[in-house]
């Protein structure tokens, strides 16, 4: 089994393991990680307050979507819909 050149190995491992690890983390940890990433990105935005606000809101929505995806990403779509409605699939 080969992953290609050695320099690409860590990237491929990260791409494979990241969703597995994120699905095991609590929502609070995922939100904290997203906010930490967003703080790094915020330094690139100019000083205009409206731009900062819009960027913040965009990153918050993106972060919430990533948290939801990490929590439900390994559930098949049919099961996901039933789980959200409170019904259990047998």
Q: Cα angle vertex 25, ends 71, 39, to 5°? A: 95
Identify the domain containing residue 23 by its residue range: 12-39+48-72
- Does some domain include residue 56? yes
The CA distance from 37 to 33, in Å, is 6
- Does some domain include residue 55? yes
Q: For the segment 14-45, what is each residue's pLDDT rounded down to a tens digit?
A: 778 777 777 887 888 777 777 777 666 666 55
pLDDT at 62: 86
Q: Are 90 and 65 in contact (CB under 8 A)?
A: no
Looking at the structure of the chain, the number of domains it has is 1
- Does some domain include residue 82? no
Q: For the segment 38-88, what is each residue's pLDDT rounded down to a tens digit?
A: 666 666 555 566 677 677 778 888 888 888 888 787 665 555 555 555 555
The CA distance from 90 to 83, in Å, is 11
- Does some domain include residue 35? yes
Tokens matching residue 46: 């100019």
């Amino acid at each position: 089994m080969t992953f290609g050149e050695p320099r690409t190995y860590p990237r491929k491992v990260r791409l494979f393991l990241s969703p597995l690890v994120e699905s095991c983390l609590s929502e609070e940890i995922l939100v904290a990680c997203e906010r930490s990433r967003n703080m790094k990105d915020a330094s690139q935005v100019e000083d205009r307050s409206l731009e900062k606000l819009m960027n913040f809101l965009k990153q918050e929505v993106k972060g919430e979507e990533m948290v939801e995806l990490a929590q439900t990403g390994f559930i098949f779509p049919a099961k996901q819909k039933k789980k959200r409605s409170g019904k259990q699939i047998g």
